[in-house]
Amino acid sequence: MEVPILRQGQYLIASIQSALTDADLSHLREALIAQVGRSRCRGVIVDVTALDVMDSFAVRTLRDIAHMARLRGAETVIVGIQPDVAFAMVQLGLTLKGVATVLDLEEGLAFLDGRTKDRGLDTRPKRPPSNPPRG
Amino acid sequence: MADTKRSVSVSTRTSEAPGGGALSESSAGLLRELVAHLRQNRTQLREEWARRITRAELLTAMTEEEIFAEATAVYDNYVEALETGTFEALQAYSRRLSERIIPRGVETDEVVGIVLLLRDVLARSLFNKYQDNVEKLNRILDSYEPAANRIANTVAVGFVEERERIIRQQQEAIRELSTPVLQVRERLLILPIIGVIDPQRARQLTEQLLRAIRANRAKVVVIDVTGVAAMDSGVANHLVQTVEASRLLGATVIVTGLSPEIAQTLVTIGVDLSEMATVGDLQGGIEEAERLLADRAAIPGPQPGREPGTELTR
Amino acid sequence: MGEELRLPIAADVDVVEARQQGRALAAVAGFSSGEQTVIAAAISEIARNILMYAKKGEVILSLVQNGDRQGVSIVATDQGPGIPDVDRAMQYGYSTSHGVGAGLPGAKRLMDEFEVDSVVGRGTTIKMKKWRRAI
């Protein structure tokens, strides 16, 4: 199951559509790293709204993505963790410490805008419409 | 009373009973005789039953007139079940009856009690009628016993199931009503926690809060524990989990009203209070929350633990 | 009690299947949506453990009853290398891989009953149960 990765300005948006196997997650990580490396990417959004479970492998992968992206100068933000999934995660003892998490795509874009502005970059991507297209 | 194990000829069916066809014929006949007797003596038996219910101090939540009215319906349904050998009607009646009497405070043991009383009243009446013919009495009781047992069972189970259904319903309704999460202004939620929190309630509160965060797109949540007297380590742990889960949804949590005792509990379970945003009282917490919301730099950042300055400039 | 659902675990798609079936079963048993997610997460961890350490095994799901309480039973079994030191493996935080592992201790935290039986060289069986709150 290939996760579609869209480009929006200087951001990459990976929109997970359904349950992913470990292999799918690994592929996603590789694909994102490659794309971040290739382009002038300032931010990565991973939308996990459709994930019904976030287990240790998923968390590990997301942390890897954030870490790798940061090494290449891009911020990562995870959006769309469901309430039930968040609760199960904390009960399992999984945290996404060190990785930004926000409610949804709109928040994610606002977050990245804020971060890239903070870093003193002048070239901010155009403000997205209120309902940015999703993968 | 006849030993119910002796023969299992449920005489309502005309299938072969042990002993041969002749017996099953008369079983059916006996049953008809039995039902006729119960119908003929309906008034008197019903009254006796109602009297015994009062004497046994059952159904105290109901008046005598009410008891009598219900007794009539129960009696008729009882005899009908005996006659037809089918119990669906009885089951349905039992549920409806339960629906009526449960809100009146009638308990399970009372319902079982009155059914057993009726069974006894009818059995004694059979004794009286057939005492001169022991053999026939035994055969009649053989017909009566299994059916009577099943009736008692059906009514009791119907009552218990209805009771459980009502309790579930009530609990659900309470849960719906008591949405403790308040939206004070846009993107700011307050969750005041009051009283004693057991693990189940704690779990419920967390679920409600997380759903509210999502529904209201809240950025800041103030959890006020002023009203919580004491917190054991389990619930304290739960509070920490709630804070962490809220962060995963992009909301910052401010905990207010921590008493020294609760703060101590948190420290004991290993919580680093310097990592948890706390303010003395609710008012202060709300002000802090509004400050966070107003401050444009308070677009949510990553959680504590992140090393600053790791971005490389391109 | 009655039927059980036997799910082979031999590839990572099987992990997804096992947790989705687990969620469905939990729904049948009347668990809330949050609890279903918790159960799915626990299954995911345990099933992945099978894959990682034993390469293949089985997850057996069934409904269980205790008086008036309903619950789900999850048994994960394999003929893998076994766990040399179960106590150590159950210590929270211990993990042989990458340190985000939730694995056994994580799953245990989520379940009401949890039992590990492991013989080095022969295999491992993990039995877990979660009960719906009684009325």
Q: Is B208 exposed, middle or buried (0-12, 13-18, 19+ CB in 10 A)?
A: middle
Long-range pairs, B277-283, Cβ under 8 A, ≥24: B277/B252, B277/B253, B278/B254, B279/B254, B279/B255, B280/B256, B281/B226, B281/B256, B281/B257, B282/B190, B282/B192, B282/B222, B282/B224, B282/B226, B282/B256, B282/B257
Q: In chain C, what residues touch B168 (CB-CB under 8 Å)?
A: 135
The secondary structure of B213-246 as a DSSP string is HHHHT-SEEEEEEEE-----HHHHHHHHHHHHHH
Which of A21, A56, A82 is facing C106, going by the closest CB pair? Answer: A56
Q: Which residues contact A129 (CB under 8 A, 6 or more apart)?
A: none
| pLDDT score recorded for residue B14 | 41
Q: Cβ A60–C44 below 8 Å, yes or no?
A: no
pLDDT digits (tens, 9 = 90+) for B37-64: 989 999 999 989 988 988 998 888 888 8
pLDDT digits (tens, 9 = 90+) for C24-54: 999 988 898 899 999 999 999 999 999 988 9
Contacts of residues C84-87 at CB distance under 8 Å and 24 or more positions apart, as own/partner, are C84/C120, C86/C116, C86/C118
In what order do the strands lie in the sheet containing A75-79? Answer: A5-8, A11-15, A43-47, A75-79, A100-102
Provide mean pLDDT across the span B236-262: 92
- Percentage of residues in chain A with pLDDT exceeding 70? 87
Residue A56, chain C, CB below 8 Å: the answer is: yes
The pLDDT of residue B284: 92
Q: What is the pLDDT of residue A95?
A: 83
Measure the CA–CA gap between A42 and A36, rounded to whole angstroms: 8
Residues of chain B in contact with residue C133, where contact means CB-CB under 8 angstroms, are 200
Rounded distance between C-alpha atoms, residue B156 and residue B167, angstroms? 17
Residue numbers in chain C where pLDDT is lower than 70: 1-2, 92-102, 133-135
Asked if C121 reaches chain B (Cβ–Cβ under 8 Å), the answer is no
Check if the beta carbon of residue B222 is closer than 8 Å to that of residue B191: yes
- The predicted pLDDT at position A127 comes to 54
Lateral strand order in the sheet of C123-131: C4-9, C57-66, C69-78, C123-131, C113-119
- For chain C, say whether A94 makes contact (Cβ under 8 Å): yes
Q: Which residues of B touch C135 (CB under 8 A)?
A: 164, 167-168, 171
Q: Quote the CA–CA distance of A102 and A108 in Å, as a whole number.
A: 6
Q: What's the sign of the alpha-carbon dihedral B208, B211, B217, B221? A: positive
pLDDT value at position A105? Answer: 96
Q: What is the mean pLDDT of chain C?
A: 87
Say if C34 is an interface residue toward chain B (CB within 8 Å): yes
C3/B contact by beta carbon, under 8 A: no
Which of A21, A87, A88 is opposite residue C12, by nearest beta carbon? A21
**Is residue B30's pLDDT more than 70?**
yes
Q: In what order do the strands lie in the sheet with B277-279?
A: B182-185, B188-194, B220-227, B252-256, B277-279
pLDDT digits (tens, 9 = 90+) for B110-159: 888 988 898 899 889 999 998 898 898 898 888 888 888 888 888 888 88
Give the model's pLDDT for residue A74: 95
At residue B296, the pLDDT reads 53
Q: Which residues of A have a CB under 8 Å from any CB of B?
A: 40, 70-73, 75, 79, 81-84, 86-87, 89-91, 95-104, 107, 110-111, 114-115, 118-119
Over residues A84-103, the pLDDT tens digits come to 999 999 998 888 988 999 99
3-state secondary structure B75-113: HHHHHHHHHHCCCHHHHHHHHHHHHHHCCCCCCHHHHHH
* DSSP H or E run through B29: helix B21-40
Query: According to the model, what pLDDT value does residue B215 have?
Result: 93
Round to whole Å and give the CA distance between B158 and B163: 9
Q: pLDDT-based confidence at B270, cuts 50/70/90? A: confident
> How close B181 comes to chain C (CA, Å)?
18
**Residues shown for chain A:** 135
Q: What is the pLDDT of residue A51?
A: 94
Give me the residues of C, 41-100, that contact B with CB < 8 A. 68
Question: Across the interface, do C135 and B200 touch by the CB < 8 Å criterion?
Answer: no
A50 to chain B, minimum CA–CA distance in Å? 14
What subunits make at least 3 CB pairs under 8 angstroms with A?
B, C
Which ipTM was obtained for this model?
Answer: 0.86
Distance in angstroms (rounded) separating the CA atoms of residues B204 and C112: 17
Residues on chain A touching C45 (C-beta within 8 angstroms): 55-56, 92
pLDDT of residue B98: 86
Distance CA B251, CA A101 (A): 9
pLDDT at B199: 81
Q: Which helix (H) or strand (E) holds B182?
A: strand B182-185
Q: Report chain A's mean pLDDT, rounded to a whole number.
A: 88
Interatomic CA distance for residues B93 and B83, integer angstroms: 16
pLDDT band per the 50, 70, 90 thresholds, residue A14: very high
Residue B8 pLDDT > 50, yes or no? no
Which residues of chain C does A83 touch, with a Cβ-Cβ cutoff of 8 Å? 34
Q: Say if the Cβ atoms of C135 and B168 lie within 8 Å.
A: yes
* N-to-C CA span, chain C: 20
For the ranges B5-14, B21-30, B174-183, the maximum mean pLDDT occurs at B174-183
Residues of B with CB under 8 A from a CB of C: 164, 167-168, 171, 200, 203, 207
A1 in reach of chain C (CB within 8 A): no
Distance of alpha carbon B53 from alpha carbon B158, whole angstroms = 20
Contact C125, C77 (CB under 8 A): yes
pLDDT at B219: 94
Among A48, A67, A99, A102, pick the best mutation site for testing chain B contact (most B Cβ within 10 A).
A102
- Which whole-number Å values give the CA distances from A90 to A41, A60, B254, C75, in the listed order? 31, 14, 18, 23
Burial C4-21, CB ≥16 within 10 A → b, else e:
eeebebeebebbbbbbbb
Q: What is the mean pLDDT of residues B224-252?
A: 89
Return the pLDDT at C102.
64
Contact C34 A22 (CB under 8 A): no
CB B116 within 8 A of CB B145: no
Sign of CA dihedral B15, B19, B21, B22: negative
**What kind and span of H or E run contains B277?**
strand B277-279
Q: Between these two residues, B173 and B5, which has the higher pLDDT value?
A: B173
Selecting from C34, C133, C135 the residue whose C-beta is nearest the C-beta of B164 gives: C135
Query: What are the tens digits of pLDDT across the range B93-114?
Result: 888 888 888 888 888 888 889 8
Q: 0.80 exceeded by the pTM?
A: no
Say what the pLDDT of residue B251 is.
Answer: 95
Res. B28 pLDDT band, cuts 50 70 90 = confident
Q: A123-132, B107-116, B182-191 — which is least confidently predicted?
A: A123-132
Chain B residues touching residue C34 (CB < 8 angstroms): 203, 207
